[in-house]
């Protein structure tokens, strides 16, 4: 008698996790492990095959290199995948997620891909999507900027009733002419969609009521990002019409003001929010942020990034500044106001007074004086390179503030070095005659060893220079080839791809 099916899935999930390294996946290692496991017996074969086809990394349209290429018609891996799914409906039904690889993204790109090859890849990709009725996600590259040739892929995706993630970027000159009617039809069919990203380039208008109409057609929407939308398309009134979601990111929206955030803090939407990101809104009131965090009773992650520092209105410092930020549920705080002000001090006071009892991780690149670093667990010292010292000397003397994550990391390490030069206590070694034979000075450290809060200055995604996950980080794959375009020895045996998921934006 075999093991329960759940046990097999748990074993394979653990096996697949060995191929993951952060956001990177060794796709060849993963496929090899699953193929070998499928040869054990029929039971393992069925379950390993299900995992193998559940997540497919779609290869490029490059011809296969055959030893006897003169005797065989060349076929691309992309074409072979399409033929396999077409020949077996059972395999096609297993597909849940299609990840576009770096090679295929290169073919699809208008900057690097040849026109004929790009169109052929789009047609092949569209045919694969059509064969997968249970598809939930198509990720790895934003393909809807290829002109009329990408319309076929959109039509195929529109018929995937189980789709759970999608991104719209409006205002691109290469984007096919999609009226609100086309997008509404897509949303009418995507009843399972739970993650939506709506972005717009400067000067593009969708029309009044379009955003609300698009969002209201998604009954299971949980994660929503709105970025760069025109002030007439999205404003304070539109914000209040949004459905209750768990994750909300408002990114560089000219139509959103302090009054809109104040109304948000007392709306039904604030009660459902677990992840909230306010990016580039240039809010000026700390009192507004205090009210928002206090009323969002389920808020666990809060991200606040902008250039100007919010302040208290005259006459409110004596009451509000002492209160600080108050939340019993907040676990992660990313606070980055480029220009110094009262905001960073307020965060430090909130941590010191214990008003954020659930907080376990903070990311504050604007902690110029180390006030928050002092309250968190000490971080490990790192060796600074000559380039780091040069960067510190060049930017520290400038009167202009610049958002530079590496500079924030260097400044944190410099504060560690300065504390180590200050004596914490001395160790005196004496021999049997009470003669001092040696003395050692133990340097101090910055931080609180009893704190449960991690002081983080890591990038949003591996290899990025930003503390925030940007849209480009999840829509464009990272190149894995060296500068001359050849594979390195490591890449010949380990084909790593970066896992791009829209939920990383929240």
- Burial (CB < 10 A; 0-12, 13-18, 19+), residue 179, is exposed
Find all residues with CB under 8 Å of 255, minimum gap 6, and list them.
Answer: 229, 230, 231, 232, 233, 234, 235, 236, 238
Please calculate the CA angle 48-54-59 and round it to the nearest 5 degrees: 105
Is the Cβ–Cβ distance between 33 and 25 less than 8 Å? no
For 321, the enclosing helix (H) or strand (E) is helix 317-323
Same domain, 357 and 426: no
pLDDT digit string, tens, across residues 156-175? 999 999 999 999 988 776 66
pLDDT digit string, tens, across residues 170-229? 877 666 666 667 888 999 999 999 999 999 887 778 888 889 999 999 999 999 999 999
Same domain, 365 and 295: yes
**Which pLDDT value is given to residue 308?**
94
| DSSP result, 443-486 | E--SS-TT---EE----SSTT-S-SS--HHHHHSPPP-S-TTS-
Retrieve residue 14's tokens: 């653990």
Sign of CA dihedral 103, 109, 113, 116: positive
Same domain, 359 and 416: no
Is the Cβ–Cβ distance between 57 and 27 less than 8 Å? yes
Do the domain assignments include residue 353? yes
Query: What are the CA-CA distances from residue 181 to residues 184, 188, 206, 207, 322 (Å)?
Result: 5, 10, 11, 12, 52
Of 335-349, 368-382, 414-428, the one with minimum mean pLDDT is 414-428
Q: Residue 332: is its pLDDT beyond 90?
A: yes
251 falls in which pLDDT band (50, 70, 90)? very high
Do the domain assignments include residue 211? no
> Of 443, 472, 492, which closes a domain?
443
Same domain, 303 and 356: yes
Retrieve residue 331's tokens: 């676990």
Q: Per-residue pLDDT averaged across 71-98, rounded?
A: 87
Same domain, 358 and 397: no
Q: Residue 438: is its pLDDT beyond 90?
A: no
142 falls in which pLDDT band (50, 70, 90)? confident
361 falls in which pLDDT band (50, 70, 90)? very high
> Of 457, 482, 501, which closes a domain?
457
Is the Cβ–Cβ distance between 122 and 150 less than 8 Å? yes
Do the domain assignments include residue 368? yes
CB atoms within 10 A of CB 89: 10
Is the Cβ–Cβ distance between 276 and 245 less than 8 Å? no
Same domain, 327 and 453: yes
Nearest by Cα to 142 from 461, 467, 469, 471: 471
Rounded distance between C-alpha atoms, residue 13 and residue 47, angstroms: 11
pLDDT digit string, tens, across residues 252-287? 999 999 999 999 999 999 999 999 999 999 999 999
**Which pLDDT value is given to residue 326?**
94
Do the domain assignments include residue 229? no
Is the Cβ–Cβ distance between 476 and 497 less than 8 Å? no
362 falls in which pLDDT band (50, 70, 90)? very high
Q: Per-residue pLDDT averaged across 394-411, rounded?
A: 86
Same domain, 398 and 329: no
For 414, the enclosing helix (H) or strand (E) is helix 405-420
**Which pLDDT value is given to residue 496?**
84
Q: Which residue has the higher pLDDT, 445 or 488?
A: 445
Query: 408: domain range?
Result: 386-443
Find all residues with CB under 8 Å of 128, minimum gap 6, and list them.
Answer: 58, 78, 81, 82, 85, 98
> Of 432, 457, 482, which closes a domain?
457
Do the domain assignments include residue 214? no
Rounded distance between C-alpha atoms, residue 477 and residue 498, angstroms: 7
Query: What are the CA-CA distances from residue 435 to residues 428, 429, 432, 439 (Å)?
Result: 10, 8, 7, 11
Q: Per-residue pLDDT averaged across 298-309, rounded?
A: 97
Same domain, 451 and 347: yes
Do the domain assignments include residue 140? no
Rounded distance between C-alpha atoms, residue 151 and residue 133, angstroms: 18
- What is the model's pTM? 0.89
**Which pLDDT value is given to residue 310?**
94
1 falls in which pLDDT band (50, 70, 90)? low
Q: What is the average pLDDT score of the chain?
A: 87
- Burial (CB < 10 A; 0-12, 13-18, 19+), residue 31, is middle
Q: Per-residue pLDDT averaged across 11-38, rounded?
A: 91
Retrieve residue 51's tokens: 């995992």
Of 60-74, 98-112, 369-383, the one with minimum mean pLDDT is 60-74
Do the domain assignments include residue 104? no
Same domain, 371 and 453: yes
What proportion of the chain, given as a percentage, has pLDDT over 90? 61
22 Rama class: left (phi>0) / alpha (psi -120 to 50) / beta: left
Nearest by Cα to 413 from 385, 384, 393, 375: 384
Same domain, 453 and 350: yes
Same domain, 362 and 390: no
The runs of H, that is alpha helices, within 95-221 are 102-108, 115-130, 151-158, 180-189, 210-216
What is the phi/psi pair of residue 100, to 5°? -75, 125
Number of domains present in the structure of the chain:
2
Do the domain assignments include residue 315? yes
Q: Per-residue pLDDT averaged across 48-67, rounded?
A: 80
Of 34-38, 44-48, 143-147, the one with minimum mean pLDDT is 143-147
- Burial (CB < 10 A; 0-12, 13-18, 19+), residue 141, is buried
Is the Cβ–Cβ distance between 235 and 258 less than 8 Å? no
CA 350 and chain centroid, separation? 27
Same domain, 371 and 390: no
**Which pLDDT value is given to residue 314?**
75
Is the Cβ–Cβ distance between 487 and 496 less than 8 Å? no
């Amino acid at each position: 008698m075999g093991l329960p099916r759940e046990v097999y899935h748990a074993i394979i999930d653990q096996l697949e996790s060995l191929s993951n390294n952060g956001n990177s996946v060794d796709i060849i290692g993963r496929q090899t492990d699953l193929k070998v496991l499928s040869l054990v017996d029929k039971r393992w074969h069925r379950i390993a095959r299900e995992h193998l086809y559940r997540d497919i990394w779609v290869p490029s349209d490059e011809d296969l290199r055959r030893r006897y290429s003169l005797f065989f018609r060349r076929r691309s891996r992309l074409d072979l995948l399409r033929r396999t799914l077409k020949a077996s409906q059972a395999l096609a039904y297993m597909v849940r997620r299609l990840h576009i690889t770096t090679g295929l993204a290169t073919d699809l790109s208008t900057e690097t891909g040849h026109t004929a090859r790009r169109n052929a890849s789009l047609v092949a990709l569209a045919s694969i999507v059509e064969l997968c009725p249970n598809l939930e996600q198509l990720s790895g590259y934003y393909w809807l900027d290829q002109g009329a040739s990408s319309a076929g892929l959109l039509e195929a995706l529109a018929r995937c009733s189980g789709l759970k993630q999608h991104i719209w970027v409006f205002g691109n000159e290469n984007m096919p002419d999609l009226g609100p009617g086309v997008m509404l039809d897509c949303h009418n069919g995507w009843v399972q969609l739970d993650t939506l990203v709506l972005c717009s380039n400067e000067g593009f208008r969708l029309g009044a009521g379009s955003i609300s109409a698009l969002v209201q057609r998604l009954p299971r929407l949980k994660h929503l990002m709105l970025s760069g939308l025109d002030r007439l398309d999205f404003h304070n009134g539109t914000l209040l019409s949004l459905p209750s979601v768990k994750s909300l990111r408002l990114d560089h929206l000219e139509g959103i003001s302090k009054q809109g955030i104040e109304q948000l803090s007392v709306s039904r939407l604030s009660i459902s929010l677990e992840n909230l990101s306010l990016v580039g809104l240039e809010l000026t009131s700390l009192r507004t942020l205090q009210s928002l965090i206090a009323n969002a009773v389920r808020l666990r992650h809060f991200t606040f990034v902008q250039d100007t520092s919010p302040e208290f209105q005259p006459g409110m410092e004596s009451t509000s500044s002492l209160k600080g930020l108050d939340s019993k549920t907040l676990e992660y705080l990313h606070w980055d106001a480029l220009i110094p002000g009262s905001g960073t001090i307020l965060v430090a006071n909130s941590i010191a007074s214990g008003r954020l009892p659930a907080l376990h991780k903070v990311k504050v690149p604007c902690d110029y004086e180390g006030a928050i670093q002092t309250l968190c667990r000490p971080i490990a010292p790192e060796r600074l390179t000559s380039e780091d010292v040069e960067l510190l000397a060049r930017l520290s003397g400038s009167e202009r503030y610049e958002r530079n994550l590496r500079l924030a990391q260097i400044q944190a390490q410099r504060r560690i070095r300065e504390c180590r030069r200050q004596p914490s206590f001395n160790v005196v070694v004496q021999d049997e005659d009470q003669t001092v034979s040696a003395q050692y000075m133990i340097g101090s450290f910055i931080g609180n060893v009893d704190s449960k809060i991690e002081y983080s200055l890591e990038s949003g995604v591996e290899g990025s220079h930003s503390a925030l996950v940007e849209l480009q980080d999840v829509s464009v794959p990272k190149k894995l080839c060296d500068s001359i375009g050849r594979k390195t020895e490591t890449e010949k045996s380990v084909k790593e791809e970066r896992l791009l998921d829209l939920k990383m934006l929240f």
